[in-house]
Amino acid sequence: MKEYWGSLASVLGVLAFCQSLLQVLFPPELRFAALKLFNRIFNVFNSYCYFDITEIDGVNTNELYNAVQLYLSSSVSISGSRLSLTRALNSSAITFGLTNNDTLFDTFNGVNVLWEHIVTQRQAQTFSWRPMPDEKRGFTLRIKKKDKSLILDSYLDYIMEKANDIRRKNEDRLLYTNSRGGSLDSRGHPWESVPFKHPSTFETLAMDPAKKGEIMEDLKDFANGQSFYQKTGRAWKRGYLLYGPPGTGKSSMIAAMANYLGYDIYDLELTEVHNNSELRKLLMKTSSKSIIVIEDIDCSINLSNRKKEMRSGSGVSTGDEGGNSITLSGLLNFTDGLWSCCGSERIFVFTTNHIDKLDPALLRSGRMDMHVFMSYCSFPALRILLKNYLGNEDSDLDEGVLKELEEVIDKAEMTPADISELLIKNRRNKDRAVIELLEALKNKAEMKLKSGESAAAAAGR
């Protein structure tokens, strides 16, 4: 610190000397030209260059300014004793940033840069279409001239990307719906959004742990797979088909996926979409890092459509452009055809209770990348539910009861939704909850057995 003050004092001394020299050597009319000359000479010897990123660029907000602010807020090297704190609307996280005229060093690809946050009072307001803030804020980036190209080529892109990540992490996720039909809002947007706060996570999801792990890995590979998709020339999207009886956790799985990846959800209500071009507009207005969901796909699309199309020779890839109904081909064009590339990093999830009713075009390999069967509650899934609802670990349960549960659970064919209901009802009395559950499972298994026997007898008659 001492050295710093010492060198500052000597620089100030030199400046004062130069100023008096200027006054002595040059008559007033030549002083300005001399100053310009000095400035040029100084620039030749100065090894740094500076970039100003102002908060308001003309009359528009400068996106780069906000991005730098967010990026620097995540910097671990912030050591200032005074930081500014902000919490955006709809956000559950607090970000901190540089206060006025504070500086911060950053390193990128081994190159050191210095950021300074400069705040000055705005001059008397000139005429403008919108009121300007009283303060003029901006960042100044100081870098070595020799590093200029490296930094400008990738550092600023890197900052923008990082800032988007932070924004996504800080903001609560949104759930979009197209329940307004084809009408647009005042900003021309066809989707309505609400904050998405579904508490379902992979941890709370009751299903076979191996299958769960496989799906989580698949999702992570997808989210981190930008370069893979680019290298292989594939559109950066992935399709999941979740099928199984009602109450087995298909919708809960979608919420868990969104929470796991930090993606928004677009819940596409196909019955509200009138034709293929409307569908195209809707899908084009979805953002990247999102999950586009079509629930009960078997009920949403008239399955005879495609057969008619095939007969009329229009084929799968063309779709019904101007017609007044939405077709399976119109939908597949988006999940699979050329239009699927109009955005990146999108996950499509279709759900159905009746996979047998689906058109083979939806099921053929490569169309939906992963088919996930959400089954009746299995023993490993039951353990998760017992833990979630009663806080029970295996060691809390009597071994005999555990064994009985294991024997009866598959025969009973009860859904996780049914079991959850039973456990919620008795959650204050853990022992009773387990005993009632066992009873319910046994009753259900017996009923299944009887109905199976009578069906077999009827078939044999």
Ligand X SMILES: Nc1ncnc2c1ncn2[C@@H]1O[C@H](COP(=O)(O)OP(=O)(O)OP(=O)(O)O)[C@@H](O)[C@H]1O
User: Taking a C-beta distance cutoff of 8 angstroms, is the pair 388, 204 a contact?
Assistant: yes
Does 251 participate in binding Mg ion (rule CB under 5 A)? Answer: yes
Compare residues 162 and 211 and give the one whose CB is closer to ligand X. 211
Compare residues 387 and 411 and give the one whose CB is closer to ligand X. 387
Shortest separation between residue 248's beta carbon and Mg ion, angstroms? 9
E strand intervals along 5-100: 48-54, 56-57, 60-61, 83-86, 95-98
Token look-up 């540089």 returns 98
Among 69, 73, 95, 251, binds ligand X (CB under 6 A): 251
Shortest separation between residue 202's beta carbon and ligand X, angstroms? 10
- Categorise residue 440: left if φ over 0, alpha if ψ from -120 to 50, beta otherwise: alpha
Token look-up 């909850």 returns 433
Pairwise CA distance, residues 46 & 344, whole Å = 44
Site stretch for Mg ion (CB under 5 A), options 81-89, 102-110, 244-252, 426-434: 244-252
Does 246 participate in binding ligand X (rule CB under 6 A)? Answer: yes
Compare residues 69 and 352 and give the one whose CB is closer to ligand X. 352
The footprint of ligand X on residues 181-240 (CB under 6 A) is 204-207
Reference 103, options 78, 121, 85; nearest CA is 78
The answer for residues whose C-beta is within 8 angstroms of residue 25's C-beta and 6 or more apart is 34
CB atoms within 10 A of CB 305: 19
Reference 300, options 333, 346, 331; nearest CA is 331
Shortest separation between residue 415's beta carbon and Mg ion, angstroms? 11
Pairwise CA distance, residues 218 & 368, whole Å = 13
Site string for ligand X, 252-291 (x = CB under 6 A): x---------------------------------------
Compare residues 156 and 255 and give the one whose CB is closer to ligand X. 255
Q: Name the binder of 420 from Mg ion, ligand X, none, CB < 5-8 A by kind.
A: ligand X
Compare residues 143 and 293 and give the one whose CB is closer to Mg ion. 293
Does 417 participate in binding ligand X (rule CB under 6 A)? Answer: yes
Pairwise CA distance, residues 230 & 226, whole Å = 6
Tell me the torsion sign for CA atoms 27, 32, 33, 35.
positive
Shortest separation between residue 421's beta carbon and ligand X, angstroms? 8
The footprint of ligand X on residues 367-396 (CB under 6 A) is 374
Pairwise CA distance, residues 98 & 114, whole Å = 13
Compare residues 14 and 424 and give the one whose CB is closer to ligand X. 424
Chain positions contacting ligand X, by CB under 6 A:
204-207, 246-252, 353, 374, 416-417, 420
Q: Provide the binding-site residues for Mg ion, judged by CB under 5 A.
A: 250-251
